[in-house]
Amino acid sequence: MKEKIAIKKVSRDTFHPKSKFYITTPIYYVNDVPHIGHAYTTIVADVLARWHRLSGEDVFFLTGTDDHGKKVATAAKEAGKTPQAFADSVVKRYHEAWKKLDISNDDFIRTTEKRHERVVIEIIRLMNKAGDIYKGEYEGWYCVPDETFLTETQLVKGKCPECGRDVEKVKEESYFFRLSKYQKPLLELYRKNPDFISPKNRRQEIINRVQTGLKDLSITRETVKWGIPFPGDNKHVLWVWIDALSNYLSAIEYPEPKYKKLWPADIHLMAKEILWFHAVIWPAILMSCRLPLPKKVFAHGWLTIEGEKMSKSKGNVVDPLKLTEKYSVDSVRYFLVREIPLGDDGDFSEKALISRINGELVSDLGNLASRVLTLAERCKSYQGNDELSRNLDFKKIENHVENMELHHAINSIFDFIHSVNKYINEKEPWKLEGKQLEQVVYNLLESLRVIGILISPFMPSTAEKLNRQLGVKAGSFKDLKFGKFSGKPRKGEHLFKRVA
């Protein structure tokens, strides 16, 4: 291709001042109900969304479902339902799970919605206008569980290299996207924006693959019926991935004012198996449409269950709703974010969950609140100082969040919690009376108020419970300054229950 595509360096503030934050999760296939892997991504995105709201940013947090494609059509057939009825029933389970897990998404997009289809058609129109779509024949392999086209050489022992499952042979008429044209612009994008693909260790893998060359991509299916008809040739439906990726624009009403305010996305969050689609295919589509590119695509690792890959046949699929019947929602949220460094693979085990509940949550945080609120019952008024503020390094916590090191952010919050526990032990307020007692209690209440703000993105209902007992309103980061406590504390139940 002779045409030169200019790639600008995408800086955080190219399009907007630091006032908006648009974060997305993948839209999940509705072939089955949500499991803990889906919950993990959605909880992490929720923590980030809540954090940025506390910073005063205008946050838009999007999640949703991928309703189309052969995988969903097959599951529907097996269930004896139409794809639409089947999708509708599974989507309910997603709504239920996200509500239970305190997910604060601002919207929930489904690819079967009209508002989505309209934008998908516009994207195809723009790609076509750029001369990037042509008709041909696809001959190769297709992995239905991953909804991916594969070449003979990509197969490993005749199976899908990603999921290891059977693939099917495909030979059909198809429309193609000139992905090959975007090899150089993509490499330039990665070079100029070193953080575009995060974390770093995944970046090089993508660059290596793109450097070996990009083949044009089949973007329609003739033998699949469950999808958006290809504009101008209804014999074909759009390949589910082109349909799905477009959700990031359709949910913000491209090209309406909402899009102008929110695009480009600040973070597309997902797990590593679909990084290729987000770091290569999606930016290439956007380049073809002449649209700005997202600022960051971040791929986290995979969750295993008690050391094993999650699978139906092993019977170890963890249902997040069932889990929260046994353990509190906040302890599950806390555990997933604290246990696994974002980007690494990680393991979910009930033993490790219980150990963190009984240790960090019950003993360190819950007992601190309980001790302080008991002491507060002995005082009629309080007057203190800000001596505990020097134990809090908010900048450090903020940097950890900015760098997507959420486990470190929690750790640093707990450093402060430990320092407050130490303060009680040193001051021995149970031996104090009058003004001296009032001062120590004030400083402790003030620290709890600050802790309530800091933990709220991770454990929103615990923060609410704590605020209620302190008699204070929910604060944001501008309220982190010490010396503001004016609550009317009243001790309630322990923040967490010990698990036997």
Enumerate residues 110-149 that contact ligand ME8 by CB under 6 A.
none
Are 53 and 20 a contacting pair, CB within 8 Å?
no
Are 90 and 83 a contacting pair, CB within 8 Å?
no
Are 247 and 109 a contacting pair, CB within 8 Å?
yes
Among 206, 214, 245, 409, binds ligand ME8 (CB under 6 A): 245
Are 279 and 197 a contacting pair, CB within 8 Å?
yes
Cβ proximity to ligand ME8, 28 vs 496, nearer residue:
28
Enumerate residues 349-378 that contact ligand ME8 by CB under 6 A.
none
Residue nearest to ligand ME8 (CB): 37
Among 121, 310, 317, 480, binds ligand ME8 (CB under 6 A): 310
Taking residues 33 to 72 in sequence order and writing x for each that binds ligand ME8 by CB under 6 A, - otherwise, the string is ----xx-xx------------------------x------
Cβ proximity to ligand ME8, 54 vs 274, nearer residue:
274
Cβ proximity to ligand ME8, 168 vs 273, nearer residue:
273
Among 120, 242, 244, 440, binds ligand ME8 (CB under 6 A): 244
Tell the smallest beta-carbon distance from residue 24 to ligand ME8 (Å): 8
Tell the smallest beta-carbon distance from residue 338 to ligand ME8 (Å): 16
- Of the candidate spans 14-22, 267-275, 354-362, 402-410, the one that interacts with ligand ME8 by CB under 6 A turns out to be 267-275
Among 21, 22, 29, 196, binds ligand ME8 (CB under 6 A): 29
Would you state the structure tokens that stand for residue 242, as one six-digit string? 């082109």
Among 22, 28, 149, 335, binds ligand ME8 (CB under 6 A): 28
Tell the smallest beta-carbon distance from residue 339 to ligand ME8 (Å): 13
Are 70 and 220 a contacting pair, CB within 8 Å?
no
Among 189, 274, 379, 472, binds ligand ME8 (CB under 6 A): 274
With binding defined as CB under 6 A, does residue 302 bind ligand ME8? yes
**Which positions lie near ligand ME8, rule CB under 6 A?**
26-29, 37-38, 40-41, 66, 244-245, 247, 270-271, 273-274, 302-303, 310
